[in-house]
Amino acid sequence: MSGMLRWTPEQLAAHQARKPAPSPATKADPMARFHALGRLAKDVMNKTERAYADVLEQQRQRGEIIDWKFHPMNVRLAKNTFYEVDFLVLAADMRVEIHETKGGYTTEKGGMKIKLCAEALPWFRFIKATKLPAKLGGGWKREDF
Position 89 pLDDT exceeds 90: yes
CA distance 49 to 100: 9
Q: Kindly state whether residue 137 falls inside one of the protein's structural domains.
A: yes
Burial 135-144 (b: 16+ CB within 10 A, else e): eeeeebeeee
Q: Kindly state whether residue 129 falls inside one of the protein's structural domains.
A: yes
Give the sheet arrangement for strand 140-144, strand by strand.
Answer: 65-70, 87-91, 96-102, 125-131, 140-144
* pTM > 0.75: no
Kindly report the average pLDDT of the chain as a whole number: 84
Structural domain boundaries, residue 88? 40-144
Q: What is the pLDDT of residue 74?
A: 93
- Give the closest residue to 120 by CA, choosing from 95, 145, 86: 145
Segment 68-84, tens digit of pLDDT: 999 999 999 889 888 99
Q: What is the pLDDT of residue 68?
A: 98
Q: What is the pLDDT of residue 128?
A: 93
**Tally of structural domains, the chain:** 1
CA distance 96 to 91: 6
Position 46 pLDDT exceeds 70: yes
Which CATH number goes with the domain that contains 71? 3.40.1350.10
Q: What is the pLDDT of residue 31?
A: 64
By three-state DSSP, how is residue 44 classified? coil
CA distance 13 to 64: 60
Q: Kindly state whether residue 48 falls inside one of the protein's structural domains.
A: yes
Q: What is the pLDDT of residue 112?
A: 85
Q: What is the pLDDT of residue 43?
A: 76
Q: Kindly state whether residue 28 falls inside one of the protein's structural domains.
A: no
Q: What is the pLDDT of residue 105?
A: 72
Q: Kindly state whether residue 113 falls inside one of the protein's structural domains.
A: yes
Q: Kindly state whether residue 65 falls inside one of the protein's structural domains.
A: yes
Q: Kindly state whether residue 118 falls inside one of the protein's structural domains.
A: yes
126, 113, 115, 100 alpha-carbon torsion, rounded to 10°: 20
Strand 65-70 vs strand 74-78: parallel, antiparallel, or unpaired?
unpaired
Position 39 pLDDT exceeds 90: no
Q: What is the pLDDT of residue 23?
A: 57
